[in-house]
Amino acid sequence: MSIIERDTFFKLFGRGTFHGEPSIYMGFNDIEPILAFVQTFHLKTIIEIGIQRGATAKCILDNCPSVEKYIGIDIIPDSQTTLPIQQGEVPQIAGELIKGYHQAELIITPNGTRDLSPGHLPVADLILIDGDHSADGVFLDTILARQTIRKGGIICWHDYGNSLVPDVTRVIDDLNTIEGNRIFLIENGFLCFQICSEGR
């Protein structure tokens, strides 16, 4: 795994500034780099896989005026998560915290991203993968994200190194072994990213 020091990251990409609270699922160390990407590159279209109640979405929308479209994807409350440990995360009202935000669009289906193909999604500047944390889930979401991201766009994966959901780490490590370390971990956090040289 290639690890980028936080100071180096912020020198390269700027420091994400923010007011308000990060999501309980996304600590300060992980939201800050995402905000840095969006604020430095004035990103317009963002897709969040696994939007949950929308706490991260709200933080991004409240602090990044460049965002014109924010697509949040999740599953319906009755759905069964692939990993039993994730069942308690399924929101009763997905995206409720960004209700009324004109940039927000929600796609809530029984199987979330497994019901979607790139044709259902707009070309995106940044895609945050934070949905099904099983190996299949992370792998399929990576394929979907890579088919949806624009050339030069950024894919972020959350929960690398989180021992509660070890498949995330395993899938990213496997991809890096096969592809030659194109995905970077930001030091002292659970967020990985790739700047995509290929895209739509």
Ligand X SMILES: C[S@@+](CC[C@H](N)C(=O)[O-])C[C@H]1O[C@@H](n2cnc3c(N)ncnc32)[C@H](O)[C@@H]1O
When the beta carbons of 112 and 153 are compared against ligand X, the nearer one is 112
Contact positions toward ligand X, by CB under 6 A?
A: 23, 25-26, 48-52, 55-56, 73-75, 81, 86, 89-91, 111-114, 130-132, 137
Residue 178: half-sphere exposure toward Cβ, Cα within 13 Å = 6
Report how far residue 165's alpha carbon sits from residue 159's, in angstroms, rounded to the nearest whole number: 7
When the beta carbons of 30 and 125 are compared against ligand X, the nearer one is 30
When the beta carbons of 86 and 148 are compared against ligand X, the nearer one is 86
Report how far residue 30's alpha carbon sits from residue 22's, in angstroms, rounded to the nearest whole number: 9
| DSSP three-state, residue 14 | coil
CB 137 to ligand X: min, Å: 6
Report how far residue 30's alpha carbon sits from residue 52's, in angstroms, rounded to the nearest whole number: 16
When the beta carbons of 73 and 183 are compared against ligand X, the nearer one is 73
When the beta carbons of 119 and 180 are compared against ligand X, the nearer one is 119
12, 6, 23: which is closest to 195 by C-alpha? 12
When the beta carbons of 73 and 196 are compared against ligand X, the nearer one is 73
Residue nearest to ligand X (CB): 112
CA distance from start to end of the chain: 26
81, 73, 71, 152: which is closest to 108 by C-alpha? 73
The letter for the amino acid at 188 is: N
CB 138 to ligand X: min, Å: 10
CB 193 to ligand X: min, Å: 15
Cβ neighbours around 23 below 10 Å, total:
20
* 8-state DSSP, 95: T
CB 66 to ligand X: min, Å: 20
CB 131 to ligand X: min, Å: 3
CB 180 to ligand X: min, Å: 28
